Amino acid sequence: MERPKLSIVLPIYNEAQSLPHLLEELTPALEAIGKSYEIICVDDGSKDNSFEELKKLHQQDNRLRVIRFRRNFGQTAAFAAGFDRVRGEIVITMDADLQNDPADIPKLLAKMDEGYDVVSGWRMGRWRESVGSFITRKIPSATANWLISKVTGVVLHDYGCALKAYRYDVVKSINLYGDLHRFLPAIASYYGVEVAEVSVGYRSRQFGNSKYGLNRIIRVILDLITVTFLLNYSTRPIQIFGLLGLSCFGVGVITGIYLTLTKLLYGASLANRPLLWLVMLLVMIGIQLVMMGLLGEMIVRTYHESQNKSIYAVREELG
């Protein structure tokens, strides 16, 4: 089969009402671009008639490919399944709830033509909503975007926007799990790709309910810890565990020397001093953390060597 130029990945969960309207907009928008394309729809264990709608749409257009999960695995898993099957030179991700406008896809492609590897949408108009929505969705979203930008160093105004464009080799080099889909640009930056952002339109949800709320901040913080470790220490765990371990051990030893001098010079009793127990605890924790770092180093090396997995990413080669 001829390789398409574009691959559209759509994670779907209970979007039966939105799907016909989405394809009515998406297909003409892609036709107008003038490039061959495929649409990969991942039904993430929907409990409504989403799969039946997808079957009808597939019968009408064989460029639409459908993947159906046995149960709801989450949006990250849906993206991962789509990325495993894409063939296009450029991969476009977007939501199926009609909040992303297919007419904005050319904006992403135009930005990629400037030499960028990842282009993310920025929904500038989404702030013009009700006060209740502002509190329950906009504040958590803004907080999450600020946290991710500060910690990862990849500054984007709208990490939550699903409308993004990636080059084929970028999505193929990323392994997704957990809830890491919102961190894709930051994870991709680990491989040295160029990331950009363009403003896109935003439309209020017409069908169904939002699947995000105030709990997003807590989830982002927990996932951010994972991403920070993966980006900075995944191939050298001894540097984080060892640093923490040596710090605890050093504080314990210095405090122990202080207590010893107090005993020798002033004859102070140490039996009932909680500080002595703290010294013992810090020394033991320090040793354990260093050992954890060494074990992590062995696991990392086993992981890379057993799978023949490279620790680098090549952009291109000549000759």
Per mean pLDDT, which range of 5-9, 30-34, 139-143, 251-255 is the poorest?
A: 139-143
Task: Give yes or no for a contact between 26 and 57, defined as CB atoms under 8 angstroms apart.
Answer: no
Distance in angstroms (rounded) separating the CA atoms of residues 278 and 252 = 7
Task: Give yes or no for a contact between 66 and 55, defined as CB atoms under 8 angstroms apart.
Answer: yes
For residue 176, give the 3-state DSSP assignment: coil
pLDDT averaged over the chain? Answer: 85
DSSP string computed for 38-54: EEEEEE-S-SSSHHHHH
Per mean pLDDT, which range of 70-79, 84-93, 219-228 is the poorest?
A: 219-228
Strands 164-167 and 64-68: unpaired
What single-letter DSSP state applies at residue 104?
A: G
Per mean pLDDT, which range of 141-145, 156-160, 168-172, 252-256 is the poorest?
A: 141-145
**How confident is the model at residue 282, as a pLDDT?**
94
**How confident is the model at residue 32, as a pLDDT?**
95
What torsion do the CA atoms of 161, 168, 91, 56 make, to the nearest 10 degrees?
-130
**How confident is the model at residue 272, as a pLDDT?**
80
b/e per residue 66-93 (b: at least 16 CB within 10 A): bbbbeeeebbbbbbbbbbeebbbbbbbb
* Mean pLDDT along residues 17-25: 93
**How confident is the model at residue 1, as a pLDDT?**
64
**How confident is the model at residue 142, as a pLDDT?**
79
b/e per residue 116-154 (b: at least 16 CB within 10 A): bbbbbbbbeebeeeeeeeeebbeebbeebbeebeebbeb
Q: Which amino acid is at 214?
A: L
DSSP string computed for 94-138: --SSS-S-GGGHHHHHHHHTTT-SEEEEEEGGGGSS-HHHIIIII
User: Which CA distances in Å does 304 have to 96, 140, 152, 271, 299?
Assistant: 37, 37, 24, 49, 9
**How confident is the model at residue 317, as a pLDDT?**
56
Q: How confident is the model at residue 126 (pLDDT cuts 50, 70, 90)?
A: low
* Mean pLDDT along residues 15-32: 93
Q: How confident is the model at residue 191 (pLDDT cuts 50, 70, 90)?
A: confident
Distance in angstroms (rounded) separating the CA atoms of residues 254 and 83 = 52
Is the pLDDT reported for residue 221 higher than 90?
A: no
* Mean pLDDT along residues 123-145: 66
The pLDDT tens digits of the residues spanning 271-313 come to 788 888 999 999 999 999 999 989 888 887 776 667 666 555 5
Per mean pLDDT, which range of 40-49, 61-70, 87-96, 303-312 is the poorest?
A: 303-312
* Mean pLDDT along residues 64-68: 93
**How confident is the model at residue 129, as a pLDDT?**
54
In sequence order, what are the residues at sequence separation of 6 or more whose Cβ sits closer than 8 angstroms to the Cβ of residue 201?
101, 103, 104, 123, 125
**How confident is the model at residue 316, as a pLDDT?**
57
Match 């990331």 to its residue by tokens: 195
Task: Kindly state the tokens that stand for 45.
Answer: 């264990």
Identify the top-confidence range among 25-39, 199-213, 222-236, 237-251.
Answer: 25-39
Task: Kindly state the tokens that stand for 230.
Answer: 């993966």
Task: Kindly state the tokens that stand for 275.
Answer: 């500080």
